[in-house]
DNA sequence: ATAAACCCTAAAGTTAACATTAGGGTCAAT
DNA sequence: ATTGACCCTAATGTTAACTTTAGGGTTTAT
């Protein structure tokens, strides 16, 4: 069976990004088209689509394009790395992810506590505990305060 | 007792931000000095300090400056808003954070599975299972699709 | 065969949240 | 009275991740 190839507009629609974004990713060497048509049109493979999903997803969880490039690009220079290197790299990334989850969980907890204390009623927010708490210097202890 | 007023450098140090940040917040109408000295120096009041804390706290829990400006608007004329308004705002933020945590967990799982399959040895990564797996398009099916 | 829809490159513009630079007053102390 | 720390404005620079613009080929359908 012949592999299906998508033109840039088709890929863009499938992944819900703009064609400009796709061309931009190419300049950043994040996603190269599988091939080009005789007219020079970019032709993307199914695998390219999956790689695009990975990029978008990693982005969504807070990885920068530079980090994603690292994540994706290890296999390009296989000879220069050992399994030890590779494993170490993924372990670092996992640790980073855990740290991010931690941060977000704390923020979520803080917001949830604020939210819980608010009556949510239809009267004026004059007494709103969220607003009061946010201006309290002691609650969240900003670094050097 | 006379109210204490801080010069911009003092306020900056108290809240651990740069003076440039404070002047920047002024241009964004997020934090205006209580008054100016005869020489034109910004003079901040204790209440200004509280508002700065408010800004920094909100920022720390993931609000953008634009969102904070909205929140400040609410805080400044609390009479015009209800607790319901405020609660909605934080509930939306909490939902956003939860979605991010969810996505991060998925990526972490994917990476952990890769990591587990790598031997971690000192030889070239030519045979590395992580790299081989990275080439597998099905792995990238992290997102929808 | 022509118009709409789609593709190309290169370059400049945009947004957020500041930081830096340039050129110059102000204030406390030596 | 001069140094050094601190303040001012206005303008420009920074980084990330795109978007827009300009000018011009290609495909497809009528
Ligand atoms: Zn209430
Ligand atoms: Zn409330
Ligand atoms: Zn190995
Ligand atoms: Zn390996």
Q: What does the domain layout of chain A look like in residue ranges?
A: 1-63, 74-145
First to last CA, chain A: 66
> Mean pLDDT across the stretch B39-51?
94
Contact by Cβ (8 Å): B120, A83: yes
Which residue, chain included where needed, has tokens 């971690």?
B120
Helix (H) or strand (E) holding B66: helix B65-76
Beta bridge partners of B42: B36
- For A100, phi then psi, to 5°, come to -65, -40
Ligand 2 mean position, distance from CA A111 (Å): 13
**Over the stretch B13-26, which tens digit does the pLDDT of each residue have?**
999 999 999 999 99
What is the pLDDT confidence band of residue B142, given thresholds at 50, 70 and 90? very low
A53 closest CA partner among A66, A28, A72, A37: A72
Residues in chain B closer than 8 A to A131 (CB atoms) = 71, 74-75, 78, 86
Provide the pLDDT for residue B145.
30
Contact by Cβ (8 Å): A8, A42: yes
Determine contact: B53 vs chain A, CB below 8 A.
Answer: yes
B93 closest CA partner among A124, A118, A86: A118
Closest-approach residue (CA) in chain B for A144: B16
Provide the pLDDT for residue A32.
95
**pTM passes above 0.85:** no
Nearest ligand to the CA of A118 is 2
Provide the pLDDT for residue A2.
63
Q: A1-63 architecture in CATH?
A: Orthogonal Bundle (1.10)
* Whether the predicted pLDDT of B48 surpasses 90: yes
**Alpha helices in chain A, H assignment, sequence order:** 8-15, 19-27, 46-60, 65-73, 83-117, 129-134
What is the pLDDT confidence band of residue B143, given thresholds at 50, 70 and 90? very low
Edge to edge, the sheet with strand B42-44 lists B6-7, B42-44, B35-36
**Percent of chain B topping pLDDT 90:** 38
Mean pLDDT of chain B: 84
Provide the pLDDT for residue A77.
67
Helix (H, G, I), strand (E, B) or coil at A43: strand
DSSP classification of residue A91: H
pLDDT (tens digit, 0 to 9) for every residue of chain A, 145 residues total?
A: 567 999 999 999 999 999 999 999 999 999 999 999 999 999 999 989 988 988 887 787 677 899 888 878 765 566 788 889 888 888 888 888 888 788 778 778 878 888 998 999 998 999 988 888 776 655 544 333 2
> Mean pLDDT across the stretch B34-56?
93
Residue B3 CB coordination number (10 Å): 9
Provide the pLDDT for residue A139.
52
Helix (H, G, I), strand (E, B) or coil at A124: strand
Determine contact: B40 vs chain A, CB below 8 A.
Answer: no
* Paired sense of beta strands B6-7 and A42-44, if any: unpaired
- For B110, phi then psi, to 5°, come to -60, -45
* Whether the predicted pLDDT of B140 surpasses 80: no
B81 closest CA partner among A104, A101, A126: A126
Q: In this structure, what token pair is assigned to residue A7?
A: 């033109």
């Amino acid at each position: 069976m012949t592999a299906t190839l998508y033109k840039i507009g088709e890929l863009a629609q499938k992944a819900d990004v703009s064609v400009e974004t796709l061309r931009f990713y190419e300049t950043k060497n994040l996603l190269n088209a599988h091939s080009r048509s005789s007219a020079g049109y970019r032709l993307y493979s199914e695998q390219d689509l999956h790689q695009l999903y990975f990029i978008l997803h990693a982005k969504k969880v807070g990885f920068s394009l530079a980090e994603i490039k690292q994540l994706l690009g290890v296999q390009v220079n296989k000879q220069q790395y050992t399994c030890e290197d590779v494993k170490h790299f993924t372990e670092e990334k996992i640790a980073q992810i855990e740290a991010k989850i931690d941060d977000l969980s704390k923020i979520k907890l803080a917001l949830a506590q604020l939210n819980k204390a608010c009556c949510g009623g239809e009267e004026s927010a004059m007494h709103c505990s969220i607003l009061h708490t946010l201006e309290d210097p002691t609650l969240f202890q900003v670094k050097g305060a």
